Protein backbone atom coordinates (compact mmCIF):
# COMPACT_ATOMS: atom_id res chain seq x y z
CA UNK A 1 0.00 0.00 0.00
CA UNK A 2 1.43 3.31 -1.09
CA UNK A 3 1.37 6.06 1.56
CA UNK A 4 -1.23 8.78 1.03
CA UNK A 5 1.39 11.52 0.69
CA UNK A 6 3.09 9.57 -2.12
CA UNK A 7 -0.22 9.03 -3.95
CA UNK A 8 -1.03 12.73 -3.54
CA UNK A 9 2.39 13.77 -4.84
CA UNK A 10 2.09 11.47 -7.86
CA UNK A 11 -1.42 12.77 -8.53
CA UNK A 12 -0.26 16.38 -8.41
CA UNK A 13 2.75 15.65 -10.65
CA UNK A 14 0.64 13.83 -13.24
CA UNK A 15 -1.96 16.61 -13.17
CA UNK A 16 0.64 19.36 -13.59
CA UNK A 17 2.38 17.47 -16.40
CA UNK A 18 -0.92 16.82 -18.17
CA UNK A 19 -2.03 20.45 -17.84
CA UNK A 20 1.33 21.70 -19.16
CA UNK A 21 1.24 19.38 -22.15
CA UNK A 22 -2.45 19.92 -22.85
CA UNK A 23 -2.16 23.68 -22.48
CA UNK A 24 0.86 23.81 -24.76
CA UNK A 25 -0.87 21.73 -27.43
CA UNK A 26 -4.02 23.84 -27.12
CA UNK A 27 -2.52 27.35 -27.08
CA UNK A 28 0.92 26.92 -28.69
CA UNK A 29 0.73 23.98 -31.12
CA UNK A 30 3.70 25.03 -33.19
CA UNK A 31 5.47 22.54 -35.45
CA UNK A 32 7.52 24.83 -37.72
CA UNK A 33 10.09 22.27 -38.85
CA UNK A 34 8.23 18.97 -38.91
CA UNK A 35 11.10 17.08 -40.59
CA UNK A 36 13.57 18.13 -37.90
CA UNK A 37 11.04 17.28 -35.18
CA UNK A 38 10.41 13.83 -36.64
CA UNK A 39 14.15 13.18 -36.93
CA UNK A 40 14.78 14.28 -33.33
CA UNK A 41 11.88 12.34 -31.86
CA UNK A 42 12.97 9.22 -33.75
CA UNK A 43 16.54 9.56 -32.50
CA UNK A 44 15.34 10.29 -28.95
CA UNK A 45 13.19 7.15 -28.95
CA UNK A 46 16.07 5.08 -30.28
CA UNK A 47 18.34 6.55 -27.61
CA UNK A 48 15.70 5.64 -25.02
CA UNK A 49 16.18 1.96 -25.84
CA UNK A 50 19.86 2.22 -24.94
CA UNK A 51 19.54 2.14 -21.19
CA UNK A 52 22.46 2.39 -18.83
CA UNK A 53 21.88 0.64 -15.54
CA UNK A 54 23.22 2.86 -12.80
CA UNK A 55 24.92 1.24 -9.82
CA UNK A 56 23.55 3.71 -7.26
CA UNK A 57 20.08 4.03 -8.73
CA UNK A 58 17.21 1.56 -8.85
CA UNK A 59 16.34 2.52 -12.40
CA UNK A 60 18.20 3.23 -15.59
CA UNK A 61 19.51 6.31 -17.32
CA UNK A 62 19.06 7.02 -20.98
CA UNK A 63 20.84 9.54 -23.14
CA UNK A 64 17.46 10.79 -24.37
CA UNK A 65 17.97 13.91 -22.21
CA UNK A 66 20.49 15.07 -24.82
CA UNK A 67 17.69 15.18 -27.37
CA UNK A 68 15.46 17.05 -24.95
CA UNK A 69 18.24 19.63 -24.61
CA UNK A 70 18.69 19.75 -28.39
CA UNK A 71 14.94 20.30 -28.71
CA UNK A 72 15.10 23.14 -26.23
CA UNK A 73 17.70 24.82 -28.44
CA UNK A 74 16.07 24.13 -31.79
CA UNK A 75 12.39 23.21 -31.56
CA UNK A 76 9.16 24.68 -30.24
CA UNK A 77 7.87 24.04 -26.74
CA UNK A 78 5.17 21.68 -28.07
CA UNK A 79 7.76 19.68 -30.00
CA UNK A 80 10.07 19.56 -26.98
CA UNK A 81 7.36 18.31 -24.63
CA UNK A 82 6.09 15.69 -27.06
CA UNK A 83 9.64 14.48 -27.68
CA UNK A 84 10.33 14.22 -23.94
CA UNK A 85 7.06 12.37 -23.35
CA UNK A 86 7.60 9.90 -26.20
CA UNK A 87 11.21 9.23 -25.23
CA UNK A 88 10.23 8.62 -21.61
CA UNK A 89 7.45 6.21 -22.51
CA UNK A 90 9.85 4.26 -24.72
CA UNK A 91 12.47 4.24 -21.95
CA UNK A 92 9.94 2.91 -19.44
CA UNK A 93 8.39 0.31 -21.74
CA UNK A 94 11.35 -0.97 -23.79
CA UNK A 95 12.60 -4.25 -22.32
CA UNK A 96 12.33 -3.31 -18.65
CA UNK A 97 13.86 -5.57 -16.03
CA UNK A 98 10.48 -5.46 -14.31
CA UNK A 99 7.35 -4.27 -16.08
CA UNK A 100 6.51 -0.78 -14.77
CA UNK A 101 3.04 -0.01 -13.53
CA UNK A 102 1.00 2.54 -15.43
CA UNK A 103 1.33 4.99 -12.54
CA UNK A 104 5.15 4.79 -12.80
CA UNK A 105 5.06 5.54 -16.52
CA UNK A 106 2.65 8.42 -15.95
CA UNK A 107 4.76 9.87 -13.14
CA UNK A 108 8.06 9.58 -15.03
CA UNK A 109 6.50 11.08 -18.16
CA UNK A 110 5.03 13.94 -16.15
CA UNK A 111 8.38 14.59 -14.46
CA UNK A 112 10.03 14.90 -17.87
CA UNK A 113 7.29 17.17 -19.23
CA UNK A 114 7.54 19.45 -16.19
CA UNK A 115 11.37 19.44 -16.29
CA UNK A 116 11.50 20.07 -20.04
CA UNK A 117 8.99 22.93 -19.81
CA UNK A 118 10.97 24.63 -17.05
CA UNK A 119 14.27 24.08 -18.88
CA UNK A 120 12.75 25.46 -22.09
CA UNK A 121 11.60 28.62 -20.32
CA UNK A 122 14.95 28.91 -18.50
CA UNK A 123 16.87 28.83 -21.79
CA UNK A 124 14.65 31.53 -23.23
CA UNK A 125 15.05 33.75 -20.18
CA UNK A 126 18.83 33.98 -20.67
CA UNK A 127 20.04 36.93 -22.78
CA UNK A 128 21.18 35.71 -26.18
CA UNK A 129 18.43 33.14 -26.47
CA UNK A 130 18.31 29.38 -26.12
CA UNK A 131 20.94 28.85 -28.77
CA UNK A 132 24.03 29.61 -26.75
CA UNK A 133 25.92 27.41 -24.35
CA UNK A 134 25.41 30.14 -21.75
CA UNK A 135 21.65 29.47 -22.01
CA UNK A 136 21.86 25.70 -22.38
CA UNK A 137 23.90 25.18 -19.20
CA UNK A 138 21.22 26.79 -16.96
CA UNK A 139 18.55 24.92 -18.95
CA UNK A 140 20.34 21.60 -18.43
CA UNK A 141 20.77 22.43 -14.76
CA UNK A 142 17.07 23.23 -14.38
CA UNK A 143 16.14 20.02 -16.21
CA UNK A 144 18.50 17.98 -14.02
CA UNK A 145 17.41 19.50 -10.70
CA UNK A 146 13.68 19.27 -11.36
CA UNK A 147 13.71 15.83 -12.97
CA UNK A 148 16.05 14.14 -10.51
CA UNK A 149 14.47 16.03 -7.62
CA UNK A 150 10.99 14.80 -8.50
CA UNK A 151 12.17 11.21 -8.89
CA UNK A 152 14.24 11.38 -5.70
CA UNK A 153 11.29 12.73 -3.75
CA UNK A 154 9.01 9.83 -4.65
CA UNK A 155 11.80 7.34 -3.91
CA UNK A 156 12.37 9.03 -0.55
CA UNK A 157 8.66 8.88 0.25
CA UNK A 158 8.41 5.20 -0.66
CA UNK A 159 11.61 4.12 1.09
CA UNK A 160 11.31 6.31 4.22
CA UNK A 161 14.66 7.97 3.53
CA UNK A 162 15.45 11.65 3.38
CA UNK A 163 15.27 13.49 0.07
CA UNK A 164 18.85 14.84 0.28
CA UNK A 165 20.20 11.34 0.97
CA UNK A 166 18.34 9.78 -1.96
CA UNK A 167 19.27 12.63 -4.30
CA UNK A 168 22.96 12.65 -3.35
CA UNK A 169 23.33 8.87 -3.51
CA UNK A 170 21.30 8.30 -6.62
CA UNK A 171 21.47 11.35 -8.84
CA UNK A 172 23.97 14.04 -7.91
CA UNK A 173 26.86 12.23 -9.52
CA UNK A 174 25.02 12.21 -12.89
CA UNK A 175 25.04 16.01 -13.16
CA UNK A 176 28.23 16.16 -15.29
CA UNK A 177 26.42 14.09 -17.95
CA UNK A 178 23.79 16.81 -18.21
CA UNK A 179 26.48 19.44 -18.70
CA UNK A 180 28.01 17.32 -21.46
CA UNK A 181 24.50 17.03 -22.93
CA UNK A 182 24.21 20.83 -22.92
CA UNK A 183 27.53 21.08 -24.75
CA UNK A 184 26.38 18.52 -27.35
CA UNK A 185 23.11 20.43 -27.82
CA UNK A 186 25.08 23.67 -28.25
CA UNK A 187 27.38 22.12 -30.85
CA UNK A 188 24.42 20.60 -32.69
CA UNK A 189 22.70 23.98 -32.77
CA UNK A 190 25.84 25.75 -33.98
CA UNK A 191 26.36 23.22 -36.77
CA UNK A 192 22.69 22.92 -37.75
pLDDT tens digits, 74-89: 999 999 999 999 999 9
User: pLDDT class for 8, splitting at 50, 70, 90?
Assistant: very high
Beta bridge partners of 61: 52
**pLDDT at 57 (0 to 100):** 55
pLDDT tens digits, 90-132: 998 888 778 889 999 999 999 999 999 999 999 999 987 777 8
Q: For residues 61 and 76, which has the higher predicted lDDT (pLDDT)?
A: 76
Q: What is the pTM of this model?
A: 0.91
| Gap between the terminal Cα atoms of the chain | 50
Full DSSP string of the chain: ---HHHHHHHHHHHHHHHHHHHHHHHH----TTHHHHHHHHHHHHHHHTSEEE-TTSSSEEETHHHHHHHHHHHS-HHHHHHHHHHHHHHHHHSS-SSPPPHHHHHHHHHHHHHHHHHHHHHHHHSTT-TTSHHHHHHHHHHHHHHHHHHHHHHHHHHHT--HHHHHHHHTGGGHHHHHHHHHHHHHHHHH-
Contact 184, 177 (CB under 8 A): no
Amino acid sequence: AMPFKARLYIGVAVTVGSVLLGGCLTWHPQFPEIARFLAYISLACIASTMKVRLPRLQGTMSVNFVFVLMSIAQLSLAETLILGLAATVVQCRWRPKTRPKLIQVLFNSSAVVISAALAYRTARAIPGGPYTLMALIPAATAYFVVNTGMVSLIIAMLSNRSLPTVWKQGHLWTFPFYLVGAAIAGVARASG
